[in-house]
Amino acid sequence: MNATALGLRRGWTEHLNQLSDRREMVTALAGSVGVYALLVAWLGGDTVPGADVRMGTYLTAGFLAFTVFSTGLTGLPLMIATDREEGVLLRARTLPRGTRVYLTGRATGVLLTIATNGVLILLVSLPLTGGSLPASPGRWLTLAWVLTLGTLAVVPLGAALGILLPGPKTGAALLALPTMVLLTASGVVVPLSAMPSVVRGIAQVFPLYWQALGLRAAFLPDSMLAAEIGHSWRLGQAAIVLGAWAAGGMVLAPWLLRRVRGR
């Protein structure tokens, strides 16, 4: 069987193994979909100040971005760090094409988790926000490519982080702070226009801001543009920045893996 097919199958089995661990699944869902449902139930009915958009819709876009971001840049690195500690990476090295299969498997797992969480968020949003889905086929298309490119932008990067992390426990502590900072700074929860200009500048270097912006473009009406930088969705720029992160990560991750190998 070729390495890609093996990796896909591996990712699928890992995903099923994870789902059958009830406690883990509940924790994972509570941390993403659960928090989303709570916030939407609490604030979702309010309208965004100064606009005719409900808070729930804004949160939907933000939480989808957060799911991609946290699965790719926190969940994946911690999984890889755990795998390294448990010897999964070493096992992969004893098998022909093992490392390639392993990485494909982990990437598949991330895609499956993002897809599961994304679908759950949209399902929860329906009754709670009274339909905050993208309004036109064009916006659905935007949703599709932003999610895909946004995922591609974080998966190789997350793999590289996982290779660099000292271990799962210290790793979790190391990742928590930058994740929180970036989450707050990127306008996922609070609109970026409310941030000081230095923060705005820094946030625009990272993929999370562009991912969230692209998702807002899919979910929010153009009347919300007043809150965005340059009063534009800047989708072209979003594609370039996300693409650059994806390409950079795809070069960086295998290079790092080779360096760690010689150890």
Partner 1 sequence: MDDLAIDVRQLTMAYGGTRVLDGVDLDVRRGEVFTLLGPNGAGKTTLVEILEGFRAGWTGEVSVLGEDPGRGGDAWRARLGVVLQSWRDHGRWRVRDLVRHVAAYYDRARDADGLLDALGLTEQAGTRAVLLSGGQRRRLDVALALAGRPEVLFLDEPTTGFDPEARREFHLLVERLAGEGLTVLLTTHDLAEAERLSGRVAVLVAGRIVTCGSPAQLARAVRAPARVRWDGGEVETDDPSRAAWELHRRYDGPVPGLEIRRPTLEESYLDLVGEAR
Nearer to partner 1, 83 or 228 (CB): 83
Rule CB under 8 A: choose which of 61, 88, 208, 253 binds partner 1. Answer: 88
If one asks whether residue 97 binds partner 1 (CB under 8 A), the answer comes out as yes
CB of 87 to partner 1, least distance (A): 4
Rule CB under 8 A: choose which of 26, 30, 91, 169 binds partner 1. Answer: 91
And the tokens for 88?
């999964």
Instruction: Assess contact for 80 and 163: CB atoms under 8 A.
Output: yes
If one asks whether residue 27 binds partner 1 (CB under 8 A), the answer comes out as no
Stretch that binds partner 1, among 27-35, 96-104, 117-125, 160-168 (CB under 8 A): 96-104
Nearer to partner 1, 10 or 234 (CB): 10
Instruction: Assess contact for 179 and 70: CB atoms under 8 A.
Output: yes
157 contact partners, CB below 8 Å, separation of at least 6: 72, 73, 207, 245, 248, 249, 252, 253
Nearest to 129 by CA among 238, 239, 43, 28: 43
Alpha carbons 8 and 208: distance in angstroms, whole number: 26
Stretch that binds partner 1, among 40-48, 81-89, 117-125, 149-157 (CB under 8 A): 81-89
Alpha carbons 96 and 134: distance in angstroms, whole number: 45
If one asks whether residue 12 binds partner 1 (CB under 8 A), the answer comes out as no
Q: Which residues bind partner 1 (CB under 8 A)?
A: 1, 6, 9-10, 13-14, 17-18, 21, 83, 86-88, 90-91, 93-98, 101, 261-263
